[in-house]
Structure 1
Amino acid sequence: MNEGNIDWVVAIVALLAGIAIGVLIRHFSGSQRNTSQKLKQRLAETELELKKLRESVNTHFADVTTLARNITRQSEELQARLDTDAGTMASDPALKRKRQVIAPEDSEEETNALHVPRDYADSNGTLDESYGLRQKQEGDSTDPQPPRY
């Protein structure tokens, strides 16, 4: 073989080696693309599942609220019916008087039990302006104090 043929053989071998290395790089980088595509698909599935779960939780709370309102309404209806039936069917006059005395007290307790929360004390509480200040002694000076805002 002459030197010209050796150059061609080296060039062909280098070309084949470059193709092999390129195929290997493509293979390993392609697996990363597949992995990223799989992760994106799993992320989309998880987001869809989360959305469905949120919708089901919202539906559940709406149903529970409706059921609680129904139970409250039915218990009030039952209480009213028991009161009317007890009023009409009670034959003992002492029991009727006792029911009449107890009924107004219940309504007063309900109105007194509900009050608006306050952020101040009635008097001499920790939020009172004079709380923690000592009383003036007779010997103290009577210098005018600056106004408090």
Structure 2
Amino acid sequence: MTNPFKEKLGKGGDGCVYKGKLPGGHLAAVKILSKLKGDGGDFINEGHFYEYMPNGSLEKLIYEENYFKLGCGHLGWDTLYQISLSMAQGLENLHKGCNSRILHFDIKPHNILLNENYCPKISNFGLAKICH
């Protein structure tokens, strides 16, 4: 499924993420945990399959020094505005739209993933807490 881990998408504190393809042809991101803490609750909380986000993290696309490496230019102010607005709506939904409030505690450009249309998704809920 991951073509012997050939395409590395990123690395976090607890493991690496690789590009994979499911039997039906859908793309996925597969996280391999480098070390498991405690009773394995981190593995269950963090999950192990993710939707593949072809534009990677916001971190890679907002810093000018990455433009040359990635072969891209500035996203444009309209796109950045839409990303910001969507992120604000997503955070509001986590805080107010659920039966229990979810506090992320690790919002940063590295944890904001972008799909093919630059629609952001919040990732890495490893530090998140549920507040009733």
Q: TM-score range by the shorter chain?
A: under 0.3
Larger radius of gyration: 1
Between Structure 1 and Structure 2, the one with more helix by share is 1
Greater RCO (Cα-Cα under 8 Å, separation 6 or more)? 2
Give the structure-2-normalised TM-score: 0.25
Between Structure 1 and Structure 2, the one with more strand by share is 2
